[in-house]
Amino acid sequence: MNKKFTTAGVILTAGMLLAACGSDDSTTGSEGSSEGAGSDLNLVEEGKFTTASSGLYKPFNYEEGGDLTGFDIEIGNAIAEEMGLEPNPVTTPWETIIQGLTSNRFDAILGSMAITEEREEQVAFSDPYYYSGGVIFVREGNTEIQSEADLEGATIGVVGQSTYDTAAQKYTDDIQYYNSDVVALQDLTVEGRLDAVITADVVGFEAQNAGLEIEMVGDPLWIEQAAVAVRPEDEELLAAINEALAAIIEDGTYTEISEKWFGRDLLDVDLEGIEILN
């Protein structure tokens, strides 16, 4: 695929683009063989592809009207359907999401989890299904934080156990933890609570579009690759996910979903010269 992503592209598309689940209803999944679809994939519930996210990461995964929705949810649904399975997204706390996976509570994490070396020691990742930038946001009109260097000793808000948490620890010991990036950004607008929030560019831009008086500082600190995480031993499931992901990219389903949520294809990026988080 053609990968074009530049800092200018991030800023120019801030209004429409661009770091982490609940129904238990049961119906019969599509049959891919005489034994039933997914019978050889080590699924927690036969015929269903059960995926987990925090459900607190708008616009990627969140609840609306009692239902889970968002980019992650729709991509997960499309992957499940391509595999001949019933989508079954659920929610779980982000801080313990990997433990939930390894305890067989669900089949995969599909909730904007970035690939990192530390996580690769515990899970196996699919091919990336989107790229986004980790960025600094401050309250509108803030003149004290103009660059990454100004984060030294600042009060920074992040979601715990996230890549943004790891980044914040490089600059300060004064870190405020949240269950939701959106809530952290809301607190950022209250004078005296936070100096900055580190989160995904698209999450901050979505908050700006919703009326939050915040602004991005400098260029993206890095680009991260979001992927589906499975248990390391589930090699057949991982292969099926990668095959399904490639299929929905090839047939245009992926682009349709991405453009619906962000006005652009989140895989259409240029990674040349950009630090890739790992």
The model's pLDDT over 69-109, given as tens digits with 9 standing for 90+, comes to 999 999 999 999 999 999 999 999 999 999 999 999 999 99
- The gap between the terminal CA atoms of the chain, to the nearest Å, is 21
79, 251 Cβ separation under 8 angstroms: no
* pLDDT for the residue 270: 76
CATH class of 7-131+223-262: alpha beta
Would you identify the CATH topology of the domain 133-222?
D-Maltodextrin-Binding Protein; domain 2 (3.40.190)
User: How confident is the model over 15-34, as pLDDT tens digits?
Assistant: 333 333 333 333 333 333 33
Give residue 46's pLDDT.
96
136 phi, psi to nearest 5 deg: -100, 130
Helix (H) or strand (E) holding 262: helix 253-262
- Beta strands 214-230; 124-139: pairing state: antiparallel
Domain boundary assignment for the chain: 7-131+223-262, 133-222
Per-residue model confidence (pLDDT) at position 36: 52
7-131+223-262 and 133-222 have identical folds: yes
Predicted confidence at residue 272, as pLDDT, reads 74
- pLDDT at residue number 37: 59
163-201 residue pLDDT tens: 999 999 999 999 999 999 999 999 999 999 999 999 999
What mean pLDDT, rounded, does the chain reach?
88
Copy the structure tokens of residue 241.
């996910």
* Predicted model pTM: 0.76
DSSP code of residue 95 = G
Strand ranges of the sheet holding 61-64, from the earlier edge strand across to the other edge? 56-57, 61-64, 67-69
Backbone angles phi, psi at 121, to 5 degrees: -75, -15
Q: Closest Cα to residue 261, out of 160, 112, 88, 84?
A: 112
